[in-house]
Amino acid sequence: MQETFGRKKKILNDPVYGFININDELIFDIIEHPWFQRLRRIKQLGLTHLVYPGALHTRFHHSIGAMHLMQKALEILSSKGHMFSKDERLATLIAILLHDIGHGPYSHSLEKKIVEELSHEELTLLFLERLKRQFGEIFDLAIKIFSGDCSKSFLHQLVSSQLDTDRLDFLKRDSYFTGVAEGVINSDRIITMMEVVSNNLVIEAKGIYSIENFIVARRLMYWQVYLHKTVLSAEQMLLQVIRRAKFLFADGNDLFGTATLKLFMKNRFTKNDFLNNPLLLNSFGTLDDFDVFTAIKEWAKCDDHVLSLLCQSLVKRNLFRTEIKNKPITEEEIEFRKESVISYYDLSPDEVNYFVLSGSAQNSAYDHTHEGINILFKDGQLLDIAEVSDQLTAEVLSKTVKKYFICYPKAPFDTN
Amino acid sequence: MQETFGRKKKILNDPVYGFININDELIFDIIEHPWFQRLRRIKQLGLTHLVYPGALHTRFHHSIGAMHLMQKALEILSSKGHMFSKDERLATLIAILLHDIGHGPYSHSLEKKIVEELSHEELTLLFLERLKRQFGEIFDLAIKIFSGDCSKSFLHQLVSSQLDTDRLDFLKRDSYFTGVAEGVINSDRIITMMEVVSNNLVIEAKGIYSIENFIVARRLMYWQVYLHKTVLSAEQMLLQVIRRAKFLFADGNDLFGTATLKLFMKNRFTKNDFLNNPLLLNSFGTLDDFDVFTAIKEWAKCDDHVLSLLCQSLVKRNLFRTEIKNKPITEEEIEFRKESVISYYDLSPDEVNYFVLSGSAQNSAYDHTHEGINILFKDGQLLDIAEVSDQLTAEVLSKTVKKYFICYPKAPFDTN
Amino acid sequence: MQETFGRKKKILNDPVYGFININDELIFDIIEHPWFQRLRRIKQLGLTHLVYPGALHTRFHHSIGAMHLMQKALEILSSKGHMFSKDERLATLIAILLHDIGHGPYSHSLEKKIVEELSHEELTLLFLERLKRQFGEIFDLAIKIFSGDCSKSFLHQLVSSQLDTDRLDFLKRDSYFTGVAEGVINSDRIITMMEVVSNNLVIEAKGIYSIENFIVARRLMYWQVYLHKTVLSAEQMLLQVIRRAKFLFADGNDLFGTATLKLFMKNRFTKNDFLNNPLLLNSFGTLDDFDVFTAIKEWAKCDDHVLSLLCQSLVKRNLFRTEIKNKPITEEEIEFRKESVISYYDLSPDEVNYFVLSGSAQNSAYDHTHEGINILFKDGQLLDIAEVSDQLTAEVLSKTVKKYFICYPKAPFDTN
Amino acid sequence: MQETFGRKKKILNDPVYGFININDELIFDIIEHPWFQRLRRIKQLGLTHLVYPGALHTRFHHSIGAMHLMQKALEILSSKGHMFSKDERLATLIAILLHDIGHGPYSHSLEKKIVEELSHEELTLLFLERLKRQFGEIFDLAIKIFSGDCSKSFLHQLVSSQLDTDRLDFLKRDSYFTGVAEGVINSDRIITMMEVVSNNLVIEAKGIYSIENFIVARRLMYWQVYLHKTVLSAEQMLLQVIRRAKFLFADGNDLFGTATLKLFMKNRFTKNDFLNNPLLLNSFGTLDDFDVFTAIKEWAKCDDHVLSLLCQSLVKRNLFRTEIKNKPITEEEIEFRKESVISYYDLSPDEVNYFVLSGSAQNSAYDHTHEGINILFKDGQLLDIAEVSDQLTAEVLSKTVKKYFICYPKAPFDTN
């Protein structure tokens, strides 16, 4: 629930943490901004709710949750004697609050599919620059912290690193809303164990087991939720829908859609387009899951055989069958599937490429080649978790697990 | 998560209960039906998520949860020696699973606004009759149990009464997803205390305190969540959006919308229309929150001053201010508000009626004039909870609390 | 878990709240004191674990939990602009931390039975005076706050009133360890709604429903846990054990026991005795559940028929049957039970009084004759919760519910 | 709470699972038996509550919880078509319910210290044999299942193996009562994934991540709770107390204690003693934490310098400092510590061996040399978790982590 004390103090009900206090007026104003409110309509986990029906939580809720953890982390570090100014504190809160502002509909599932030339991080930076004009210089600092361009590296690491408050929030939140109990991490304890050495974020030695648990829980969430084979299937279908719709628009067809959706379906905008035409970002700033899925519902009835079949399947949750393998899918298998789908659905060899989909998914539990998680011992020694864990050895942690998948329709579509 | 054992057995992850087992093939098939899948896109609590951001759970999840509790309740009653056939069991599960199938977009908020002539219960019955053709005679029994037209009254009461599994699920679920901890009820204990006397559902005496807690929790949820003043405000605005859009359509304007939404915005269908034209129910069976909110997003940019203002306000969460009073809002106050809104927004006297909204909300904790909650004592005596509770006396329980509200724009719209 | 940062900072694992931080050295030192450590061996709920097996939590855990809530409450009040000095803060923490230090074995169950002339509050004051000598003047202020003898009444009210942090902790904790889900209260929200008006603790109007929930939950815990009929039975038996043992000691028998237990079983000490002989408080300060229950285990094998029967029954959980009535137990019924017990167990008319036990238990949800819970409205008006709640009316709230019980052995003792 | 339906059906409140149903009369009768009731007075985690104050739960609660999980596991296996008779079901429930009946005071901490010649498993078998006389032939089968002497190996494996319901309960329960959130395992999901192949318990492939989580959580609990250095310290001190007391008794001193405690302190009974003298098991069947800790409280005041110092330290939680190392403690270090302790406390070279304590603690996450956890793939293949986990490789899993510790008094005792 949102309650306002004075003009701009708020308490927000969050089932994950109980209450979240918002004490800064500027933070309050950013949350009220229509671009941030848009995140209420972008689900954190795309189509995952087709497998875990509770997973309808949004980037809005996650961003505020991550900011809540940031408040706690900064308090802890401050109580341990690490210094940062009021502005640095506020800018760090802004950076984490807005770290996902550049996400579009269905976030990761459609990354670089709606706006093909820009990643969500690049879009985030465009938004931050624009908000600077409205909210002032503090955004300069926020951008530096977001981009890793500030001397107090730990502030950036709290926003983006292997132990950032982004991950600490989303693992806990995704676990809560999916109901996957094993994904629970002890974010409280991890934050309590945070320390800073030479401007870098590290973890006190007695937090080792919580870190191991965090790494294992993250991996479990990847394979059991984020890369669940039925979720993969739904996402692959969504990708094909967008691909086909873009193809049809390019081919001169007019399909149903909001004006904004059509704008982005018909054009391939570059970063320069965004810089030259400020209204373009305004438009993107209104696009959300509703534009996309409502179009899909309507396209299910359109004339194009391919698009309508794909959309009907998504709407009715008639998802493609997915097979997961440890080795790449062979050309023979792909051909075999294509042939049987062609004969079932009377498709052309071109069209079948929208229905037999293969690819790979990968996850490494931990990447210690970049910046790892450093453990601080009482004698001042700093060691990478991979060196000190007797369970999660370097070899295991550095291993990237890659799985290969092929998706194809289960059986003739039910088109009643 | 959904996992299939054999062909049609499923386990579903539900953060509220852990796991839900679906063992009946027919239940599995009903859940797969596109009409039931549609409930995935109808939020249980309409616009409540604008106040409690976690409240995005759906009628789909709730319906399956209520069915899960029904399975438990029937097991308990069976273990206490109460008899019902396999068909009666299955029909009761169908009745609870489909009790909300007739709901339209934003469920209660738009009840009788999109389809003005039929309540959601009437639409549910239309759906049940149609599903009977597909799934067979068992639906006859399900309809009887749903309608209260069967000799074993307790089966109907488990579907619809003051202690039905519908309420036992939604209180627990709404509490989980809003994070309002006080709304938690002990559905496990209440179900364990269920008994049947003369075909009626009653509660064993040692369950009295759990029943009192249930009544108090329900009331708390009403005032703190369902009738929260900001939720009221959002719902009132949504109502005006639909009213204005219908007015514009009737006036010959063409607005953006899916074909289905337009169909229902342009026509006032009667029950006979639904009976005479089966395709009409098919159309209604595809309508959901997406059709409505995507239209609202697009209407925010339309030419009609009134509609665009209302829609912008909803999309940007620029909600009207709400005042709650214990006495009816006076004509003077309404006039005062109207005048100031007219001058601010340059509205006509007709138009201002879309912006200054008043009405009342009421809730009675418990209605013992109809069928109450009966408590069974060891000596066989049956008494209404209002007679035996020393806290929730008849006088208190029978009291209907009515509150009056007025909503109006906070300040000049921000239309940047 | 207890972790020490620096010399005397601690983090303590509390399953109820996650972590508890102890930042004050003096608080740390008090917790380390053997008198406070003794509370680790005094269960919060006496013999309740015979009915709810998880209820083994202690006065130690509760006292620290209540102090944790006090830290939060003081922070909230400070953030709302209410002033108190560092000393006042520390003294209030001391007062709540030590509010139960005067409890003896099995706390309330044996109140004024082991030390007959002094209540646990009087013993607490004796302890506080003695600790002052060790810890200094700050204890003067703590004693004033504990006793209600300070101008900032709200500090005392946070320690002892209808909404003190004592109750806020024990309801939540007892609910956690018994597993009675309905007893859960939202202490976070209640504390967040605290305010001070004219030096008195009040609750902001939007906290009304949480207060109602708190009152109802408390009442539920009373009847379902604290006054559960089997708990009553065990407590009555424990009282008779102590009464019989004291009788036997007075009669010149020597029974098994620790030296300290014997000291208090053989003597009836007055407050003056405690004041004149400091060692007496030292002795009392070592007495706990272990002294009493180990004696009971050994007494189960003693020669006295009455004592051994009572003790065996407790040890084997062969608890007396309890009947609860709304009217006083009649003399006839008591006589009837006594006669049958006499004949079963071959007891004398004197002895049977240890086995047929009657009395009453009462609970009023809320006592507004003393200091009530005041609700603060936005216009500054202050009203008692009994006046503003439409559910918990004054009439209902002021009603004291009294129940009468009789306990007697179920059947011939199994003495194998 | 315990509620009785009919004569002998019970519902028990368990905060970990909600409710536990006890439907079998025989199970009810065993729970009522004084030997089983004794487990109410033996804490599951010995002195761990000195570090985690909530950890006061008992072998009684754990045994019933493990039986509850067994009921669920047997239901699942039965629903998957695996056959066992009613007697086999009941005997398996008995075996798990009584698997800890042979534990003495402070269970593992004092294993083979009070009764030096028999392990708790041997004592369990003695109890089972004796209970057979009272409860009949079904105990023969229970003993076979307990001992692994039955053809349906999976029944034994459910009682005792790497995935038995014993572990599934204690990890969840210990996590709940200590508040170590990371220890939570998903016992529901693991049980749901159980299968039987060739009479052996296996886990379906989709349960792999839950098994990995289980192994990691178990390891975390070992190092963070069971082998926590302060817990180690308290346990070492307890061992020295018993060693010293036995020495003093052997030396002809008479110390305080219950008759039963003295019996076991003065004698070194063999298995034959128990077989020849049935009363001996009766005596052991009354011994619990109370006998031991009450003696410790009294011994704190005894004449023997060594015993009184050790006991005072335990009672006042003046625990020894513990250092944990990866390499064995050197003789030099031990000597150094001994010398400084000798000079501080004026001890003889013999006596100092009670105060400077060293040893090792070890834990292997998983032992696949004995019987491992087998994973069942859809194609029928069975593989050890160590072969299929890409994270918990055989190398890692088979590694036994051994740590070395030394404990010694922190500073001069405070003996006020």
The B200-204 sheet, strands edge to edge? B194-197, B200-204, B374-376, B382-384
Chains contacting D (3 or more CB pairs within 8 Å):
A, B, C
Percent of chain A surpassing pLDDT 90: 78
As a whole number, mean pLDDT of residues A384-408 equals 82
Q: Three-class SS of residue B316? A: coil
Percent of chain A surpassing pLDDT 70: 94
Gap between the Cα atoms of B73 and B94, Å rounded: 14
For residue B387, the chain C residues in CB contact (below 8 A) are: none
Q: Are D393 and A396 an interchain contact pair (Cβ–Cβ within 8 Å)?
A: yes
Distance from CA of B55 to the nearest CA of A (A): 8
Gap between the Cα atoms of B145 and B140, Å rounded: 9
Gap between the Cα atoms of D278 and D269, Å rounded: 13
Distance from CA of D121 to the nearest CA of A (A): 31
Gap between the Cα atoms of C94 and C99, Å rounded: 8
For residue A60, the chain B residues in CB contact (below 8 A) are: 53
pTM: 0.91
Q: What pLDDT band is residue A249 in, cutting at 50, 70 and 90?
A: very high
Q: Are B286 and A297 an interchain contact pair (Cβ–Cβ within 8 Å)?
A: yes
Number of Cβ atoms within 10 Å of the Cβ of D348 = 10
Instruction: Report how many Cβ contacts below 8 Å link chain C to chain D.
Output: 124
Q: Are D206 and B19 an interchain contact pair (Cβ–Cβ within 8 Å)?
A: no
Task: Please report the pLDDT score of residue A141 as a whole number.
Answer: 97
Distance from CA of A13 to the nearest CA of C (A): 10
For residue B179, the chain A residues in CB contact (below 8 A) are: 13-16, 18
Distance from CA of D274 to the nearest CA of A (A): 44
Tens-place pLDDT, residues B174-221: 999 999 988 888 899 999 999 999 999 999 998 988 898 898 888 889
Q: Quote the distance between the C-alpha of residue A315 and its chain's center.
A: 23
**Is pLDDT at A369 greater than 90 in this prediction?**
no
Q: Does residue C307 or residue D368 have the better pLDDT?
A: C307
Query: Is CATH 1.10.3210.10 what the domain over C3-228+373-387 is classified as, yes or no?
Result: yes
For residue D217, the chain A residues in CB contact (below 8 A) are: 213
Q: Which of B205-214, C7-16, C183-192, D70-79 has the lowest mean pLDDT?
A: C7-16
**Is pLDDT at A8 greater than 70 in this prediction?**
no
**Is pLDDT at A392 greater than 80 in this prediction?**
no
Q: Are D301 and C259 an interchain contact pair (Cβ–Cβ within 8 Å)?
A: yes
Gap between the Cα atoms of D156 and D144, Å rounded: 8
Facing residue for A56 by CB, picked from B14, B56, B258:
B56
Number of Cβ atoms within 10 Å of the Cβ of D414 = 12
DSSP state of C226: I
As a whole number, mean pLDDT of residues C31-60 equals 97
Gap between the Cα atoms of D373 and D161, Å rounded: 9
- Amino acid found at B302: C
For residue D179, the chain C residues in CB contact (below 8 A) are: 13-16, 18
Facing residue for B18 by CB, picked from D11, D188, D206:
D188
Looking at chain A from residue 279 to 298, which residues have their Cβ under 8 Å from any Cβ of chain B? 286, 288, 290-291, 293-294, 297-298
For residue D294, the chain C residues in CB contact (below 8 A) are: 258, 290-291, 294
Task: Please report the pLDDT score of residue D366 as a whole number.
Answer: 65
Q: What pLDDT band is residue B248 in, cutting at 50, 70 and 90?
A: very high
In this structure, which topology does domain B229-361 adopt according to CATH? Growth Hormone; Chain: A; (1.20.1250)
Q: What CATH number has the domain spanning A2-228?
A: 1.10.3210.10
Q: Are C179 and D317 an interchain contact pair (Cβ–Cβ within 8 Å)?
A: no
Gap between the Cα atoms of B282 and D308, Å rounded: 85
Looking at chain C from residue 240 to 269, which residues have their Cβ under 8 Å from any Cβ of chain B? none
Work out the angle at residue C261's Cα, subtended by the Cα atoms of residues C319 and C414, and round it to the nearest 5 degrees. 25
As a whole number, mean pLDDT of residues B230-248 equals 97
For residue A223, the chain D residues in CB contact (below 8 A) are: 209
Instruction: Report how many Cβ contacts below 8 Å link chain A to chain D.
Output: 65
Q: What pLDDT band is residue C274 in, cutting at 50, 70 and 90?
A: very high
Task: Please report the pLDDT score of residue C155 as a whole number.
Answer: 98
Sign of the torsion formed by the C-alpha atoms of D106, D111, D117 and D120: positive
Number of Cβ atoms within 10 Å of the Cβ of C80 = 13
The DSSP secondary structure of C308-349, one letter per residue, reads: HHHHHHHHTT-PPEEEEESSPPPHHHHHHHHHHHHHHHT--T
**Is pLDDT at D250 greater than 50 in this prediction?**
yes
Chains contacting B (3 or more CB pairs within 8 Å):
A, C, D
Q: Tell me the Ramachandran region of residue A325: left when phi exceeds 0, alpha when psi lies from -120 to 50, beta otherwise.
A: beta
Q: What CATH number has the domain spanning B3-228+365-399?
A: 1.10.3210.10
Q: Are A206 and C11 an interchain contact pair (Cβ–Cβ within 8 Å)?
A: no
The first and second tokens of residue A406, run together, are 């092929």
Tens-place pLDDT, residues B8-19: 568 898 999 988
Tens-place pLDDT, residues A11-30: 898 999 988 989 899 999 99
- The CATH number corresponding to D2-228+366-399 among 3.40.50.150, 1.10.3210.10, 2.30.30.180, 1.10.3720.10 equals 1.10.3210.10
Q: Are B189 and C182 an interchain contact pair (Cβ–Cβ within 8 Å)?
A: yes
Buried b or exposed e, range A257-282, using 16+ CB within 10 angstroms? bbebbbebbeeebeeeebeeeeebbe
A365 touches chain D (CB under 8 A): yes
Facing residue for D396 by CB, picked from A219, A393, A401:
A393
Q: Which of B208-217, B396-405, C257-266 has the lowest mean pLDDT?
A: B396-405
The DSSP secondary structure of B187-206, one letter per residue, reads: HHHHHHTEEEETTEEEEEGG
Distance from CA of C380 to the nearest CA of D (A): 42
B220 touches chain C (CB under 8 A): yes
Facing residue for D61 by CB, picked from C50, C53, C317:
C53
Number of Cβ atoms within 10 Å of the Cβ of B339 = 13
The first and second tokens of residue C31, run together, are 């917790």
The first and second tokens of residue A13, run together, are 């009900």
Query: For residue A376, which phi and psi values (nearest 5 degrees)?
Result: -100, 120
Q: Which residues contact A403 (CB under 8 A, 6 or more apart)?
A: A227, A324, A325, A326, A360, A361, A362
**Is pLDDT at D415 greater than 50 in this prediction?**
no
Distance from CA of C181 to the nearest CA of A (A): 17
Distance from CA of D189 to the nearest CA of B (A): 8
Q: Which residues contact D290 (CB under 8 A, 6 or more apart)?
A: C290, C293, C294, C297, D41
- Could you tell me which chain C residue has the CA closest to the CA of A79? C23
As a whole number, mean pLDDT of residues A239-247 equals 98
Q: Are C186 and B182 an interchain contact pair (Cβ–Cβ within 8 Å)?
A: yes
Q: What pLDDT band is residue C400 in, cutting at 50, 70 and 90?
A: confident
Sorted by where each begins, the domain ranges of chain B are: 3-228+365-399, 229-361
Q: Are C216 and B212 an interchain contact pair (Cβ–Cβ within 8 Å)?
A: yes
**Is pLDDT at D367 greater than 80 in this prediction?**
no
Gap between the Cα atoms of B298 and B319, Å rounded: 18
Task: Please report the pLDDT score of residue D3 as a whole number.
Answer: 44
- Could you tell me which chain B residue has the CA closest to the CA of D189? B19
**Is pLDDT at B6 greater than 50 in this prediction?**
no
Task: Please report the pLDDT score of residue A63 as a whole number.
Answer: 98
**Is pLDDT at C416 greater than 50 in this prediction?**
no
Tens-place pLDDT, residues B129-154: 999 999 999 999 999 999 999 999 99
Distance from CA of C311 to the nearest CA of B (A): 29
A14 touches chain B (CB under 8 A): yes
Task: Please report the pLDDT score of residue B411 as a whole number.
Answer: 66
Question: Which residue of B172, B390, B398, B399 is the best one to mutate when testing the C interface, meaning the one whose CB has the most C CBs within 10 A?
Answer: B390
- Amino acid found at C190: I
For residue C220, the chain B residues in CB contact (below 8 A) are: 209, 212-213
For residue D174, the chain C residues in CB contact (below 8 A) are: none
Q: Are A297 and B315 an interchain contact pair (Cβ–Cβ within 8 Å)?
A: no
